[in-house]
Amino acid sequence: MQDRSNSKSPLDNGLSRRQILVAAASTAAATATLGAAAQTSSPRSAVDESVLDVVVIGAGLAGLTAARDLQLAGCESFVVLEGNDRVGGRTLNHHLQNGHYSEAGGQWVGPGQTAVYDLCRELNIGMHPTYLKGKSVYAAQDGSLYEEDSGGGFSVSPNMQRVVDKLNELAADVPSGAAWTAPKAKELDALSLADFIEPYNLEAMDLLSFDVGFRLTDTIHYQEVSLLYALSRINYAGSYEQLEGFTGGAQEQRIENGSQYISEVMAQQVGDRLHLSSPVRKITDWDSDTVSVHSDSGVYRARRVILAISPALCNKVQFQPELPQARRELQQGWPGYSPGRKTCHVYERPFWRDMGYNGWFFTIGGEVMWAYDNSPEDESIGVINAFIYPSMPNDPDVLAPMLANMYARAFGDEALRYTEFHDQDWGQEPWCPACVSPLTPGFLTSGLMPALRDPIGGLVWSGTETAEIWHTYMDGAVRSGHRAALEALHGLSQSQRV
C-alpha cells in the first residue's frame, strides 16, 4: 500500500478507513476554499498568489503527518521548514554498514498506539518484536554481577506491586489530555513520584526498576517528575505495566528500517515543499490574515502556520506581536533540557544470545542505565544499544572501550571485538535539545496548560507534547499532526467565509 507519489486522490493512496475519514473531514472543512477557487477562471485570481495556505514548522513525525494530511485533503499550497539538515525530529537512525540501522532516538511502539500503527500500514512499513529472550545482567557497586531471567521485563516484589496497584488506581481518575481537571489534581501535582513511593520503603532492586523505567521514558530522576504527570501517562497506556512493559506494553515492537524511516517516507511524498536547514527565527503578524514566517531560507507568508515543535523550542522563535501571556509563560516554564544519550556497539553477530543472555545490562549506581539487544530480526549482525548518563566521556576513543569492557564482564571477551561505535547525545542537538518533556511538580496545575493546544490567531500548535493521549511517544506526535492539519484546514475555510 505504500505511496511514494504526490497523488491527490485519497483512494489512490490505498488508505485505511480512518485516513479516508480524516481526509474527508479535512476536505469538508476546506470546501469553501477549494470551491471558491474552482468557480473562477483563474484559481487564485482573487487572492495573492505569493501567500501560501499553510507553513509547517518542523519535519518530525508531527509536522510531516500534518503535511501529508494537507496533501490528502487536496491542499498543495504549503511548505515544511526544518531547522536540521535531516527529517525525523526526535527519531534518528544510525546507518550501519551493509544497509543495517540502529535507532538513536525514539524507537518502540506497542498496543493502543493506533495512530502510528495506522500510519505505518498506510506507508507499507512493517514492524518486528523487541528481542527479550534470555537473562539480564546487573553490575553492583561492589563489582559483583547478578543475573536474572524475568521474561523480558523488570522483576517486581510484593511491595513494589503495591506501589504499582496504587498508581493504576489513581491513574484511572486522571484524564490524560487534561490532567489538571482531575479530582485532587493540585494535591497530586504537588507531589513528585519520589514523594509518593517514599512511605513504601522499597528495596534496592525495586528502586532500580522504578528509576530505570522512568529515566528511560522521562530522562530525569523520578524525584523531579510530577505524580500527576506520571498518572496521566499511566492513564493513556491503561496501566503502569503497559506503560513501562515490553510484551503487551509500549515497548513491544520496533519499526522496520528504523523509526526515522517513517519520516523519510513521508518526506519523499512532500517532495520539494520540504526545506531543510531552514530554522525559523521570527514570526510576525500572527494576529492578522496573513502571517509572515522568517527563516534562514527566506520569508514565507501564509494564512495558517503549524508549529510542530516542542513548547520549549518555541522560545527560540521571536513573535511579533508578543504572544498572549499564558502562552509565553507556558513556553518559558516548559522543561527545555531533559537530554537523553544513546550509544551503539556493533558486532559480527549477537553472540550473547548463544549463552542465554538477552543483551540487557545495568550498572547499579553506575554509568549505564540500561543496555539492550538492538540487533536486526534476522540476526545478521549484533547490536547493543545503551542509555547512558550525559556525564560520560565525550571522546569516542575513550567511551567505546569503556562500555565494551563493561559488556565483556557480563557477556564475555567477544564484547571487546566491536566493529562500529556510535554515540548520540540529544543534549547537543540545537533543534531537538530534549528527548522528551517530563513535567515537574506544580506545572500541570499552574493554570497555563490550556494554552498548550488552543490556536492563537493564525498559529496552530502541534508536536507530541500537545497530544491528548500518548504524549511524548511517537504515537502522540502522529496524533498531533492529524489534529493540526484539521485545525489549519478548518481555519482556512472559516477565513474564506468572512
pLDDT for position 216? 72
Whose CA is closest to 219, among 361, 313, 106, 129? 106
pLDDT for position 25? 41
CB-based contacts of 416: which residues, under 8 Å, 6+ apart? 401, 404, 405, 408
CA distance 372 to 13: 37
pLDDT for position 204? 81
pLDDT for position 38? 33
Whose CA is closest to 436, among 214, 218, 177, 225? 218
pLDDT for position 155? 66
Helices and strands (DSSP H and E) totals, the chain: 14, 20
pLDDT for position 13? 39
- 373: part of which helix (H) or strand (E)? strand 368-373
Grid cell, residue 370, equals: 540500561
Residue 309 φ then ψ, to 5°: -135, 160
**Residue boundaries of the structural domains of the chain:** 11-89+258-323+456-497
CA distance 71 to 65: 10
Q: 11-89+258-323+456-497 domain in CATH 3.50.50.60?
A: yes
pLDDT for position 498? 52
One digit per residue, the tens of pLDDT, for the chain of length 498 reads 333 333 333 333 343 433 333 343 443 343 333 333 333 223 333 456 799 999 999 999 999 999 999 999 999 999 999 999 999 999 999 999 999 999 999 999 999 999 999 999 999 999 999 999 999 999 988 889 999 887 766 667 899 999 999 999 999 999 999 999 999 999 999 999 999 999 999 888 788 777 877 777 776 778 889 999 999 999 999 999 999 889 999 999 999 999 999 999 999 999 999 999 999 999 999 999 999 999 999 999 999 999 999 999 999 999 999 999 999 999 999 986 667 899 999 999 999 999 999 999 999 878 898 999 999 999 999 999 999 988 899 999 999 999 999 999 999 999 999 999 999 998 888 888 666 778 999 999 999 999 999 999 999 999 999 999 999 999 999 999 999 999 999 999 987 765
pLDDT for position 152? 64
